[in-house]
Amino acid sequence: MPPHGFLAVVLGLCAMAAGLGAFSVISRHRDGARTDVSPKLAAWTGSIAIWLAALAGLAFACQPVMPLWSRIAIALGLAVAASVALVAVPRIGNAALKMRLPLVLGTHFAVLLATVCSLVDDVVTVWAGIAIVATLAAVARTVPTRARFLHVGAGYAYALFVFGVALDLLGIGTIALLCLTTSFGSIGAIAATFLRRVAAPAWYAILVVAVAPILVIVTVSGSGTAALAPWRGYGLIAASWLLLGLGMLLGRGASARAEYLRVLQWPTLGVAIAAGAAGAIQGARFGLGADPILAGGVPLVLLSLAIGLAGALPAALGALAMLRIAPQGSRLARTRWLYAPTAVYVAVATWPSIERDWFTIWMMWSLMLAYLLAVVVIAWRLRNRPSSLPPVWFVFAIAFLTAIVAWSPRELRVEWFSLPLGFFLIVAGAVVLTGARADAARQQPDSGSGQDGTVTGWPAGWYGSWPLLAPGVVTLLVASVAATFTDPQTWRAILVIVIALVAILIGSRLKLAAPFLIGIVVLPLENVLVFLVQIGRGIESMPWWITLAVVGAVLLIIAVTYERRAGEENSITDRLRDLR
């Protein structure tokens, strides 16, 4: 668009805004004969006129013929003028939302426009940044008080960004720049702690901006000095422990100052949990080779696991402390996600260290087993009472991903992972299944209501073998059934048949529908797959036929025995209906 084109657009928008505004004013002063239509028409026409006027102001600030400083000054000036009008003029501030909304959004877009324009030059970014932050403080007055913490967080984040750009202009190196920016942000957060005018939501926003993102950026970003790289993560882990101790100390004492500082206990513990992510990220960087490390003969997987645990422990203790101070019956007291970061940190720290080494593979397999044991422990706790531990599906998902990582070198068969995954998932469901039979009226403990069967609460609140046992039985079999077609082995085909037979026996003996019917389906399916891959090509015919003969004989004996016991009183439909 030619330079004069912007001016034409601005004039056109102003003309339309003026015309619609005049029409709105005229409509309001018409005779009472059409009072049912005129007020609505006048209101919407006036709103459109204000939208067009706001758009004209933004377009005027975008004119390329004006110097950069002029465009920034116009955008910020319009934002301040509109903010003052909304706050200081009662007729505008008390107008309907459809009248105020164009001005409120226009002020925010004007600040955003000035910010984008200032980023083209670092010097302009620094000096304009001061004005942008000040303007953002004025713009915050145009929104309700409960939403102003967003402006506080955005303004504080941009102030730290401008501070970093200024340090970069002075020629300060990357490591020093990050350290100084972090320190400046922390000092600001400490100062805000002792200012009573800073509301709690605004203080939380300042704390999050000052600590959490900067910690993550410092941990993830590389450094030019190899000697400083490992110590960066260690320092952040130490900060997590220090914040944990500080959070516990803030809850002590009975003085007025202690009561005031007790408000900071939850956010401090929350930041301690977040800072524990440094262990996971640093362990992952070691595994990926992004940071050098002197292993001294110690396997890399152990070092990554150790540093992951070093960050996970303060996260776990912080979660425990938050649960202890949570008011009875509050959402924080009922949540099951506070320990989730701990579970994630250990896994994320260890996964990238996988390699074609038997010790590493078995260590990863052992980590999978530890998560599966945690699955059973969580299910056992849910059997009798509510639990603050993460949902079973969440921990099982971590175990499943760990199994994929451990299997990725392709040194172990898939059954080394699918069988433990399926077995422990069956045990988790069976633990609650036996409790459900003993007390069928037990409610799902995670919801606080009588509603059963939530995914988060599984296996608690679910009844019957299908929701409780079917996931584990399917997990136990599906990988081997699929591998029969892709990698046919005699022992694998026999294993699938044996597991299916055991599922049928248990299902018929305990009257459980899921294992019985899944076993019935898997038997012919595995036979079809074996014949599709052709017996004799990976699967030996003699052991296979012997297995089928034995299985057929066992099934025949079961059928005859059950028929003699039941007699002719029950039909097949009745017997299937008895399964649970």
Supply the pLDDT for residue 78: 92
What's the pLDDT score for residue 449? 35
Q: Amino acid letter at 228?
A: L
> Looking at residues 153-179, what average pLDDT do you find?
85
- Does residue 145 sit within a domain? no
Q: What is the pLDDT of residues 349-369, one digit of tens each?
A: 999 999 999 999 999 999 999
Question: Does residue 86 have a pLDDT over 60?
Answer: yes
Q: Would you say residue 542 lies in a domain?
A: yes
Q: How many domains does the chain have?
A: 1
Give the model's pLDDT for residue 115. Answer: 92
Is residue 216 domain-resident?
Answer: no
Written as one letter, the residue type at 396 is: F
23 band by pLDDT with thresholds 50, 70 and 90: confident
Q: What is the pLDDT of residues 480-520, one digit of tens each?
A: 999 888 888 889 999 999 999 999 999 988 889 899 999 99
Element (H, E) at 463: none
* Per-residue pLDDT at 437: 47
Identify the pLDDT of residue 580.
Answer: 62
Does residue 142 lie in a domain region? no
Given CA atoms 307, 309, 311, 314 in this order, what sign does their dihedral have? Answer: negative
Angle at which helix 465-486 crosses helix 415-438, to 10 degrees, equals 170
Q: What pTM does this model have?
A: 0.70
What does the alpha-carbon distance between residue 222 and residue 233 come to, in Å, rounded to a whole number?
A: 11
Which is nearest to 279 in space by CA: 254, 309, 300, 257?
A: 309
Tokens in use for 122? 């670092």
Instruction: Determine, yes or no, domain membership for 23.
Output: no
Residue 540 included in any domain: yes
Residue 333 has pLDDT above 80, yes or no: yes
Amino acid symbol at 511: K
What pLDDT, on the 0 to 100 scale, is given for residue 444?
40
Q: Is the pLDDT of residue 10 over 90?
A: no
% of the chain beyond a pLDDT of 70: 85
Residue 299's Cβ-count burial label (10 Å; 0-12, 13-18, 19+) is middle
What pLDDT is stored for residue 109 in this prediction? Answer: 92
Residues written for the chain: 580
Asked if residues 350 and 288 have their Cβ atoms less than 8 Å apart, the reply is no
Residue 76 reports pLDDT greater than 80: yes
pLDDT in tens, 513-570: 899 999 999 998 888 888 887 655 667 888 888 888 888 888 888 777 766 665 555 5
pLDDT at 162 over 60: yes
Q: What is the CA radius of gyration of the chain?
A: 33
How much helix, strand and coil, in percent to the nearest 5, is found in the chain?
A: 75, 0, 25
User: Is 504 within the bounds of a domain?
Assistant: yes
Task: Calculate the alpha carbon distances from 564 to 40, 338, 552 in Å.
Answer: 83, 56, 18
Give the number of C-alpha atoms closer than 13 A to the C-alpha of residue 539, restricted to the C-beta side: 27
Whole domain around residue 521: which residue ranges? 478-578
CB 161 within 8 Å of CB 130: no
Q: Is pLDDT of 438 > 50?
A: no
Q: Note whether 286 and 303 are within 8 A (CB).
A: yes
Is residue 194, in this structure, part of any structural domain at all? no
The CA distance from 99 to 20, in Å, is 13
Window from 50-54, 79-83, 362-366 with minimum mean pLDDT: 50-54
Q: Which residues are CB-neighbours of 130 under 8 A, at least 6 positions away?
A: 162
